[in-house]
Amino acid sequence: MAEYSAFSLLKNALTGNRDWKPAWRKPDPKPSYDVIVVGGGGHGLSTAYYLAKEHGITNVAVVEKGWLGSGNVGRNTTIVRSNYLYPQSIRFYEHSMRLWENLSHDLNYNVMFSQRGILNLAHTPAQFDDYARRGNAMRHGGGDAELLNPDQIARLYPGLDVSASARFPVVGGLLQPKAGTARHDAVAWGYARGADRRGVDIIENCEVTGFLRDGDRITGVTTSRGEIRAAKVAVAVAGSTGHVMKLAGIDKLPIESHLLQAFVSESLKPILPGVITWGGGHLYVSQSDKGGLVFGGDLDGYNSYAQRGNLPLVEEVMSELLAMFPAFARVRLLRSWGGVMDMSMDGSPIITTGPLPGMYLNCGWCYGGFKATPASGWCFAHTIARDEPHEINAPFTLDRFHRGILIDEKGQGSTPKLH
């Protein structure tokens, strides 16, 4: 497979770019593997990569019903952060941040990770106090956090309305300097290439249509390309979790599938140095390397498997953006899209063995799926290889809902669409 370096770039430029090798193979499925990973998104690909890299398990197949990057890994706003409150979440997302910081070097593939910072705006003194609490928790957990006053924010974001006459006055903000963005497609391609180089078979256009069983134990999958057997079957299909798990006879899980829209504007000259979020509602915006504003907001508010949204939510998101940046009123919108979110009952993920013997489950990522990609795959690989969770993902097992040990970052209770 292709090696990427300054030398190979120069060599291929001089030969008309005709000699680049494919980034990964297109193999036919074998009759059996040690591990099958269902889902060729960021979490499935990173799981396969870390199974091979960290545990030496290379007889692995990743089966994807479409093409790589066709799901949520290619349908997000590319934000990477670890600004959480609870110790369990801080440990997990700080581990993910450390993996992000070395990911391009590790994969020999530029994922364009840019630590440009994320700023959460506070619009009331009570909200600012809450941010101070969260910032202190982040620093206790080994992260970075800074509280900013309105003057500091105005210098950082000159186009932001911090005037006293603003509809939602800015009283301060919480900055995480080492947060930022990464190129979502490059993350999928980098993990695919890295897993392939270690012997993993990545099988595209291979939809799982059922599960093979020996009694209660899962022993493989039936697919649109035939039966494939394995000692272990891992499911990492994000918003399609309920549908796929129903094929295994699991009718009820503590998650719901919801639609989340995202938007991109026309290209502008540099105006946003980092990621900024609005505290008067739910809006987050950054500027891509191409100059477009990349932003999103709340869920559409109803259960759906569609990858498109409705117009009332579009209007709501646009009005929130203009409340922050009135100067964007005449900016043209280029495109929008939707991703299917697997929203858990407490807003935190599930990385666990089971719920059937021979099966492993990774789901419930809500808004946090993309930024969790490295740590999710790393922890899921450990869980699959060792048949027990790592201490980092031990709190995120499925049985926490039975035991009442919830990890509810937002304090919204068991209403998935509010997380």
Q: Is the pLDDT of residue 192 over 60?
A: yes
**pLDDT-above-70 percentage for the chain:** 100
Spatial distance between the Cα atoms of 180 and 176, rounded to a whole number of angstroms: 9
Specify the residue for token string 């509280």: 147
Q: What's the rounded mean pLDDT across residues 361-382?
A: 95
pLDDT, averaged across the chain: 94
Spatial distance between the Cα atoms of 367 and 287, rounded to a whole number of angstroms: 19
Q: Is the pLDDT of residue 1 over 60?
A: no
Sign of the CA dihedral 150, 119, 293, 316? Answer: negative
CB-based contacts of 415, cutoff 8 Å, min separation 6: none
Spatial distance between the Cα atoms of 231 and 357, rounded to a whole number of angstroms: 10
Question: In sequence order, what DSSP letters do the residues of 335-388 get, joined into one string?
Answer: EEEEEEEEEESSS--EEEE-SSTTEEEEE--TT-TTTTHHHHHHHHHHHHHHSS
Q: What's the rounded mean pLDDT across residues 225-235?
A: 97
CB-based contacts of 280, cutoff 8 Å, min separation 6: 121, 123, 167, 168, 320, 323
For residue range 139-177, what is the model confidence (pLDDT) as tens digits?
Answer: 999 999 999 999 999 999 998 999 988 889 999 999 999
In the prediction, which pLDDT does 89 show? 96
Q: What's the rounded mean pLDDT across residues 18-30?
A: 91
Q: Contacts by 384-389 with C-beta closer than 8 Å and gap 24+?
A: 384/35, 384/47, 384/51, 384/57, 384/232, 384/234, 384/360, 385/51, 385/54, 385/55, 385/57, 387/353, 388/353, 389/351, 389/352, 389/353
For residue range 61-116, what is the model confidence (pLDDT) as tens digits?
Answer: 999 999 988 888 888 899 999 999 999 999 999 999 999 999 999 999 999 999 99
In the prediction, which pLDDT does 74 show? 85
- The dotted CATH code for 114-180+256-344 is 3.30.9.10
Tokens representing residue 266 in the block:
């026309």
What does pTM read for this prediction? 0.95
For residue range 267-325, what is the model confidence (pLDDT) as tens digits?
Answer: 999 999 999 999 998 999 999 999 999 999 999 988 888 878 888 999 999 999 999 99
Burial class (CB in 10 A: 0-12, 13-18, 19+), 289: exposed
**pLDDT-above-90 percentage for the chain:** 83
Q: Is the pLDDT of residue 3 over 80?
A: no
Q: Is the pLDDT of residue 398 over 80?
A: yes
In the prediction, which pLDDT does 301 show? 83
For residue range 343-359, what is the model confidence (pLDDT) as tens digits?
Answer: 999 999 999 998 999 99
In the prediction, which pLDDT does 174 show? 98
